[in-house]
Structure 1
Amino acid sequence: TSVESFRVYHMNNTCAVAVWTMLPKSDMPLEFIVEWKNLGNEEKVQWMNIPQNMSRCYIEDNFFAIEKYVFSLYPVFPEGVGRSKVVKWLFY
């Protein structure tokens, strides 16, 4: 994978920020897809496209206390979607 790190930080109950870095000398994706879901409601998967020149995004949703979430970052290359980086997150 070309993504070196991926982290998600809680801002408040309606916003989180996702931040990532790329491996040095890796191919630059055409774009990124950030996907998230509440593990208590797995059929509701949400996602957003992020331009290739970005390395962070603000995720607006209703984050419920003591709920577990999974966030995934997918780099998208001309030949297809790359391997994801995944963060499991518990909102306090």
Structure 2
Amino acid sequence: MRDFDFLVRAIVDAVVLMEMSDDDDLSPDLAADILDGIVVDLDRISAEGKRGICSTIASLVQSEENLRRREIVQQLPEGLGITDY
């Protein structure tokens, strides 16, 4: 894995954690604020960078054994707004 891939994996893990957390564990408002910040930052990335993120996420989907996590990860490119480049 390249450094870039590790960075994408860290973002994915953070988002999956927020998605899978109960409202008692993580405030939905706080989770939304964090996700909004991630989306804003990802919007600043070049089209090539977004393609790279999508490629790394696709690899993570293929290697994910947990069905619930896989579903969340599979939806991330669209949810993070990085599919229209």
TM-score, with normalisation over the residues of structure 1? Answer: 0.29
TM-score by length of 2: 0.31
Select the structure that is richer in helix: 2
Relative contact order, CA 8 A, sep 6+: which one is greater?
A: 2
